[in-house]
Amino acid sequence: MSKTLVPSGILGVAAVIPQEVRKNDFWTNICFSKLKEGKNPFEGINERRVFPIDMLPSEAEAEAGKRALEVAGVSPEEIDLVIVQSMIQDEILPTNACLVQHKLGLKNSGAWSVDTCCSSFVTMVVTASNLIAAGEFKKILIITSAFCSQLADYSDYQCCYLGDGAGAVVMGQVSEGKGYIASFCNSHGQYHKGFTLQMRQPEGYNRKHFMPSMEKPLLTFDPIIREVGKESVNHMKLLLEKTLEKSRLKASDIDLFLSHQPCHWAHGAWRDCVGINPENSYETFVKYGNMASACIPVNLFEAEMKGMLKDGSILFIASSGAGENHIAATLRWGK
């Protein structure tokens, strides 16, 4: 049985940005491991935000969701699906989705977890857009959080790029000609071990047998991550070109480009590789660092607050994710 597709778009966006600011001088008395002589580990970053150590990811996620509902003017009862991604969950199992559904009082909602690491927000937007378009759901709440600080090995210079944050959007039916346009995704599983979470001692902790263990889950960078970086622009160029082609758009049509920001050069290099006007992009690495899957919703929230999106603007979002995977999507802004 054929269905008439429903135009689906973003009805409201919100972010939770931690109050604590961690500046570069936090590392004054910390010796970095694996830092090449002459390399500046703080290139392009001055600070990052950190959630309180006693705050649970579900608390930040529920707050982000609450704010997004308020911005969208949508009641909890109207949400029929919430999709949640947590960089770390409150518990190993189950995921936070049902807990967040309960905390927000979404009594008519299902609860899903969707995880493609740092690209999860874009993945959830694509998933929700198509579910709404097909008529399966009417209003979907998307939430993501990154508690990077609780997983960081501070003796590894690559962890000084990490910051915390959470973001959320409400998606639903929009007027004809607005909302989701198209997307494209691919993956490169040969880089799967590049970025992992492992139980280990901090690299800078030279533990003797009589010393207490500091073993805990820590983000770990395999040497293959350098190859990921070298191929990053080529991979993203293909992704962005394919997405523009499916969208029947040109780089000059893009009003706002947002991306994951894993390091200081990534956003600009990805934007420039397809010729998007720098004035039509927004990133916050210098003050927030790498917030994993929260980068795009946090930056989307700030960009909208700055008036960078008008009714009918073309929004282009793109991200890589550990694994290695890539996804991008285009949307026309407005209800």
Q: What is the model's pLDDT at position 104?
A: 98
Q: Give the residue among 82, 85, 48 at the shortest CA–CA distance from 66.
A: 82
With the C-alpha atoms ordered 261, 142, 322, 42, is the resulting torsion angle positive or negative? positive
Strand, helix or coil for residue 255: coil
Largest CA distance in the chain: 70
Looking at the domain covering 181-332, what would its CATH class be?
alpha beta
Q: What is the model's pLDDT at position 2?
A: 65
Q: Give the residue among 249, 291, 48, 133 at the shortest CA–CA distance from 299.
A: 291
CA within 13 Å, CB half, 254? 28
Cα-based distances in Å from 221 to 48, 53, 92, 257: 20, 23, 22, 28
Rounded to 5 degrees, φ, ψ at 131 are -65, -40
Could you read off the pLDDT of 226-275 as tens digits, one per residue? 899 899 999 999 999 999 999 999 999 999 999 999 999 999 999 999 99
Average pLDDT by stretches of 10, the chain with 335 residues: 84 98 92 82 95 97 98 98 97 96 98 97 98 97 96 89 97 97 96 91 79 87 90 96 98 98 96 98 98 98 97 98 96 97
Rounded to 5 degrees, φ, ψ at 207 are -80, 130
User: Cβ(205)–Cβ(214) under 8 Å?
Assistant: yes
Could you read off the pLDDT of 143-161 as tens digits, one per residue? 999 999 999 998 888 889 9
Q: How many Cβ atoms sit within 10 Å of the Cβ of residue 133?
A: 18
Which residues of the chain form CATH 3.40.47.10? Answer: 8-177, 181-332
Overall pTM > 0.75: yes
Q: What is the model's pLDDT at position 208?
A: 78
Q: Give the residue among 109, 145, 111 at the shortest CA–CA distance from 295.
A: 145
Which CATH number does the domain 8-177 belong to among 2.102.10.10, 3.40.50.300, 3.40.47.10, 3.90.1660.10? 3.40.47.10
